[in-house]
Structure 1
Amino acid sequence: MTEPGFGRYPADALKADGLRAAGGLAVTLGPLALVGFDAHPLVAVPLLAGAGLFGWLGLRTLARRGAACRVTEEGLVLPSGFFMVMARWDQITGVKLRYYSTKKDKSGGWMQLTIRAGRGRYSIESQLTGFDAIAARVAELVLERELPVDATTKENFLSLGHYM
């Protein structure tokens, strides 16, 4: 489980996110560029706000491109923006596992694992390759150290096959 490159975001998902960010920037900044950024504030402000959101998506996608999570003897190596951080097993104080549905019948969606270690809070999503193995190790840690988790987190770990 400690081989290099363990837990990368899939290239297809990153490519799709990059295209969404580029398309969103084109749709929001394009009209402003056509009028020479002389648009009325009622038009310019929402377009600039949208451009900011799509710019953030593009930066987040770039940061994930180089991110690779690893499980080591000492802890988890996790992405934090454009940097990688070590969340040591003995410093982890809180864990949350949330499911975000994209459909009413809850058939589509993703999970987000949030780990609190020291003053930091780090999140990874289920589209990450190796997510199940990382979640399994975190579930073991919760049981070993008897960390408090809420009912939703317990239920979501159980849905992955990890009893708490």
Structure 2
Amino acid sequence: MIGPINRAIKWEELGGFKLSYYSTRRDREAGWMHLKLKGKGLGLGIDSTISEFDELVKLAHVAASMNGVVFDASTIRNLRALRISGSPENPFYVKGTFS
């Protein structure tokens, strides 16, 4: 991430992954997503307003899966909404928390 404070998490150091959805309407038809990544004491937050957000989520999901990150139920639902599914190496399952 480049900005006032530059931050980077190497894929192999990715240890936290959470994908949240924030609705702007009661029917949940409008809103945005927010991706939280953690690794090596750093945290990054990325909103779905950036270009190619879906591609970034896919890449981060693969890295998180390869690193054994456990996805919570909300993250799994939001990944499915983006049509991103588990891999044979790390199928989706619900366990643990992201802090």
- Work out whether the TM-score is over 0.5: yes
- SS in structure 2 of the partner of residue 122 of structure 1: strand
Give the alignment's TM-score, normalised by structure 1: 0.50
* Structure 1 residues 84-103: aligned runs within 5 Å: 84-103=6-25
**Rg (Cα) greater in structure:** 1
Asked if the contact 2:20/2:78 (under 8 Å) is kept, the reply is: yes
AA aligned opposite 1:114? K
State the alpha-carbon separation in 1 of the partners of residues 62 and 13 from structure 2: 15
Give the alignment's TM-score, normalised by structure 2: 0.80
- SS in structure 2 of the partner of residue 84 of structure 1: coil
- SS in structure 2 of the partner of residue 85 of structure 1: coil
**1:151 matched to which residue of 2?**
73
Structure with the largest fraction of helix: 1
Shift in Å at residue 94 of structure 1? 0.5
**1:38 matched to which residue of 2?**
none
- SS in structure 1 of the partner of residue 71 of structure 2: coil
Q: Which runs of structure 1 show a deviation greater than 4 angstroms over 4 or more consecutive aligned residues?
A: none
AA aligned opposite 2:67? R
- SS in structure 2 of the partner of residue 158 of structure 1: helix
List alignment gaps of at least 5 residues for structure 2: 87-99
Shift in Å at residue 155 of structure 1? 1.1
State the alpha-carbon separation in 1 of the partners of residues 8 and 65 from structure 2: 21
The alignment-based identity, stated in percent, is 27
State the alpha-carbon separation in 2 of the partners of residues 91 and 130 from structure 1: 22
Deviations 1:40-64 (A, max 9, x none): xxxxxxxxxxxxxxxxxxxxxxxxx
State the alpha-carbon separation in 2 of the partners of residues 133 and 100 from structure 1: 19
* Structure 1 residues 44-63: aligned runs within 5 Å: none
**2:62 matched to which residue of 1?**
140
Deviations 1:60-100 (A, max 9, x none): xxxxxxxxxxxxxxxxxx24x61221111121111000000
Greater relative contact order, per chain length (Cα 8 Å cut-off, separation 6+) = 2
State the alpha-carbon separation in 1 of the partners of residues 64 and 37 from structure 2: 11
- SS in structure 2 of the partner of residue 128 of structure 1: coil
Alpha-carbon RMSD: 1.3
